Amino acid sequence: MRSVLRILRKDLRVLRRSPLALVVLLAYPLVVAALVGLVASYANAKPRVALVDEDRLPASIEIGDRTFRIERTIDRVANEVTLVRLDRDEAERQLASGRIVALLVVPRGFVGDLRSMARSPQLELETTQGGLSIRVSQQVQALVYQLNRELSDAYVEANLRYIELLLDGGRGEFLGQQIDVLGLESARGLLDELPSGPRLDRIREFVRTAELALGETDDALRATASPIELIESRDAGRTWALSAQVQSFALALTISFLTVLLAAAALAGERDEGVLGRLRRGLVGPGELVGAKVALAAVAALVVGLGIAVAFGAIIELGDVEGGQPWSRLPLLATGLALAGASLGALGSLLGALAREGRTASLVAILAVLPIVFIGLVPREVAPAAAVLSSAFPFAHGLSFFTAALFELDPWTALLREAAWLVGLTLGYGALARLAVARLPA
Amino acid sequence: MAEVRLLSAHLLSARHVSRRFGGHVALEPCDLELGAGETVALVGANGAGKTTLLSILAGALDPSSGTVERPVAVGWAPQRPALYGKLTPRENLELFAALAGAPIAATDLPDRPAAELSVGQRQRLNLALALLGSPPLLLLDEPTASLDAERREELWSLLAEVAAGGGAVCFVTQNLEEVARADRVGLIEEGRLTFG
C-alpha cells in the first residue's frame, strides 16, 4: 500500500509539472461535451424552408367580419422552421443545392378559396429526400395545423355572426353579397300578430325551437372546431443546458476522457521512462503499479468532477434557476466520482499496458473512449444490445450513478446497483491490467 | 552451454536461463554464477543478447526458461537511464530509496528535472540509483557511456571497492580497454554466452 501511495504521489507531482498536458486533459473533454451539445442543439435547429407566394398574399384578409393578418400569422406560427420568402425558380435552385430543405408554395387562388369558405385552400410542400425531410414535413404539418386553428377560430366567429344574424335579423354579407335578414326573433313577433290556427302554431313552434337551438350553437360550434384543446404553460424551469441530464452527462464524459487517458498514458509512461524494469525488481509489483494508476484516476475524477459540479451549481444559483443545485448530494456525487474514476482508471491501465508506449496508449485511449461514451448514450429502449454492451464499461454506470446521486428522490437502489457494477468493473479491468503489466517487457 | 564456475559464496546464480521475443531467440539457455569479490565483463556485438542477459540477471526481465537466484540485494543500472524525467535528481533518489527502504545521503544535486540534465549527468543519476542501499552485487549495462574520463575513473575505483568488500560486479561494455578491469570475460554471440 505504501508503494501505491508513493507512486501516486509521484504521478501527481509529474502531472503538476506538465501544465500543457493538464490543460489539454481538462479542456479536451469539455470541448467534446460542448461539441456534443452543439450536435444535440442542431437536432433542435430550425431548418430553412422557402415560402413561395404565387398568390401574392395580402397583409390581411377579411373572413366574415374578422380581419385575418395572414402573413403575421404565418410568421408567428412558423416558429419551428425559418421561412425564407423566395420566388419559385430561386427556391427550386436552393432546394437542389441543399440551402433550403423544403419549399412551401401558396398557389394561385389560395386567398379566394380562403375567403369563400366554400372549399379548403391548399398549400403545396416539396421536400428533398434527405434525413430532414420527415422532420420538415412534420413541422410544416404543425404549421398548417396552427394555421387551421387560427382560421378555424375566424370561421367560427364568422359563422356565429351569421347565426346571430339569423336570430336577431339585420344587414349582413354572404359570399360578397349584401343581404337583409328578418331574423327568428322578428319572425316570431310577426307570427304572434297573426290569428291562431294549427298550421300557424306549428310554424310558431318551429321558430321557437330554432331560436333555442341556435342560441346554444356558440359553445357547440367552438367545441366542434377544437374537440380537444391543448393548453400549454411555460414555467421558469431549468434550460436544457442546465438540466440534470446534461450535468450528469458532462461529468461522466469529462471524467471518462480524463481518467482513461490519464491512466493509460501514466502506465505506458512508466515504460517510456525505462523505469518499469527498475520498479519490477521487487520495488513495486504489477498489481501495485495498476493500483497506483487506479488511485490516480480516482483522485483526478474526484477533483475535476467536484470542480465541474461546483461550477454548475454556481451558475444555477447565480441564475436563480428553478430547483437549484442539490448541494446536500455532493458527498454522494463524490463517492460516485471516485468509484467511476477508479473503474475508468482500471480500464485505462489495461489499455496503457496493452499499448505499451505512451503516445500509442493516448491514441488508443481516445479511440476507445469515444465509442464507449456514445454506446452508453443509446437508450435501452432503442437498442437493447447496445445497452447490454455498454454495461461492460464504466461510462454508463457512472452516468446512472451521477443522475441518481444528484436528482433522484429515492436514489439508494440505483446507487447501490451502480456502485456494485463500478467496483466489479474496477476489479475485473484491474486484474486484466495486472496480467498485462506483468507481461510487459521492461 | 556456457561455462559454469562455482565459487564458495555465490551472490547470484542463473541456471539455464533463456529468452525469446516471439519467434526470435535473444538468449540461448545459459548458466552464470557470480561469486564474492568477482568482476565479470560481458562483451559482444550489438544485438548479441548482452542487455537481455543482464536484465534477466537483474530481475527486470523474466526469462523464457531457467531460474535466477539472488540471495543478496542487487543494484542495476540499465543501458538507458531508468529515471523519471519530470522529477529532479533528488526526487528520483528519494522515491526509489523510499520504495527500496534504503537511506540516501546525496548532496549537491542539480535542482532541475532529470530530463533537462546532460546525458552524462543522467548516466550518473542512473548509477546513483543502482548504488542506493549499497547493494553487494552490481549489474551495470555500459556504465561508463557518456561519462567523462574523471568520472569513469571514479566509477572504476568505486566498483573495485565493491568487489574488494566481498561484493561482485557484472558489467556490459563495448570498450575493450575496460575488459581488462574484469576477472572474467563472457562473450555473447547471437545469444550464446561463452567464457574465454
Q: Is B20 on the interface with A (CB under 8 A)?
A: no
A148 shares its domain with A287: no
Q: Is residue A163 in a domain?
A: no
The pTM score is 0.70
Q: Is residue A387 in a domain?
A: yes
**Considering CB atoms only, which of A10, A276, A281 is closest to B95?**
A10
Among chain A residues, CA nearest to B64: A439
> Is B99–A14 a contact, with Cβ atoms under 8 angstroms apart?
no
Tell me the three-class secondary structure of A370-428, residue by residue.
HHHHHHHHCCCCCCHHHHHHHCCCHHHHHHHHHHHHHHCCCCHHHHHHHHHHHHHHHHH
**Considering CB atoms only, which of A6, A273, A442 is closest to B85?**
A273
Question: What is the reported pLDDT for A229?
Answer: 62
Residues of A in contact with B91 (CB under 8 A): 10, 13
A317 shares its domain with A432: yes
Average pLDDT over chain B, rounded to whole?
Answer: 88
Percent of chain A scored above 70 by pLDDT?
A: 85
A86 shares its domain with A26: no
- Answer for the pair B71, B42: CB distance below 8 angstroms, yes or no: no
Q: Is residue A224 in a domain?
A: no
Number of domains in chain A: 2
Report residue A163's pLDDT band, with 50, 70 and 90 as the boundaries.
confident
C-alpha cell, B148: 567523462
A368 shares its domain with A264: yes
> Is B60–A3 a contact, with Cβ atoms under 8 angstroms apart?
no
Q: Which candidate in A6, A22, A271, A273 is best for mutational testing of the B interface (most B CBs within 10 A)?
A: A273
Among chain A residues, CA nearest to B95: A6
Q: Has residue B194 got a pLDDT over 50?
A: yes
Q: Has residue B61 got a pLDDT over 70?
A: yes
On the 0-12 / 13-18 / 19+ scale of CB atoms within 10 A, A199 is exposed
Across residues A55-67, what is the average pLDDT? 75
Q: Considering the domain delimited by B39-62+73-195, tell me its CATH architecture.
A: 3-Layer(aba) Sandwich (3.40)
Strand order, beta sheet including B137-141: B74-77, B137-141, B168-172, B39-44, B184-189, B192-195
Q: Is residue A205 in a domain?
A: no
Report residue A432's pLDDT band, with 50, 70 and 90 as the boundaries.
very high
Distance of residue B95 Cα from the nearest chain A Cα, in angstroms: 7
> Is B59–A14 a contact, with Cβ atoms under 8 angstroms apart?
no
A99 shares its domain with A24: no
Residue with cell 380581419: A67
A376 shares its domain with A265: yes
Q: Has residue A258 got a pLDDT over 60?
A: yes
A303 shares its domain with A331: yes
Q: Is residue A415 in a domain?
A: yes
Domain boundary residue, one of A152, A176, A210: A152
Across residues A347-366, what is the average pLDDT? 91
Domain boundary residue, one of A152, A177, A211: A152
> Is B99–A281 a contact, with Cβ atoms under 8 angstroms apart?
no
Domain that holds residue A147: 45-152
> Is A279–B74 a contact, with Cβ atoms under 8 angstroms apart?
no
Residues of A in contact with B86 (CB under 8 A): 13-14, 17-18
Domain ranges of chain B: 39-62+73-195
CATH code at A91?
3.40.1710.10
Among chain B residues, CA nearest to A6: B95
A250 shares its domain with A292: yes
Domain boundary residue, one of A152, A183, A203: A152
N-terminal to C-terminal alpha carbon distance within chain B: 13
Residues of B in contact with A10 (CB under 8 A): 84, 87, 91, 95
Q: Has residue A237 got a pLDDT over 70?
A: no
Q: Is residue A331 in a domain?
A: yes
Q: Is residue A206 in a domain?
A: no
Report residue A1's pLDDT band, with 50, 70 and 90 as the boundaries.
confident
Residues of A in contact with B59 (CB under 8 A): 280-282
Report the alpha-carbon distance of residue A279 to residue A289 in Å, rounded: 9
Report residue B3's pLDDT band, with 50, 70 and 90 as the boundaries.
very low
Q: Has residue A173 got a pLDDT over 60?
A: yes
A389 shares its domain with A252: yes
Q: Which candidate in A9, A17, A267, A275 is best for mutational testing of the B interface (most B CBs within 10 A)?
A: A275
Residues of B in contact with A279 (CB under 8 A): 99
| pLDDT tens column, B122-141 | 999 999 999 988 899 999 99
Report the alpha-carbon distance of residue A155 to residue A133 in Å, rounded: 31
Strand bridging mode B39-44 / B168-172? parallel
| pLDDT tens column, B66-75 | 999 998 989 9
| pLDDT tens column, A179-201 | 888 888 888 888 888 888 888 88
| pLDDT tens column, A402-425 | 988 887 888 899 999 999 999 999
Report the alpha-carbon distance of residue A139 to residue A439 in Å, rounded: 59
**Considering CB atoms only, which of B76, B84, B99 is closest to A3?**
B99
Among chain B residues, CA nearest to A288: B99
Distance of residue A393 Cα from the nearest chain B Cα, in angstroms: 31
Q: Is residue A264 in a domain?
A: yes
Residues of A in contact with B61 (CB under 8 A): 277, 441-442
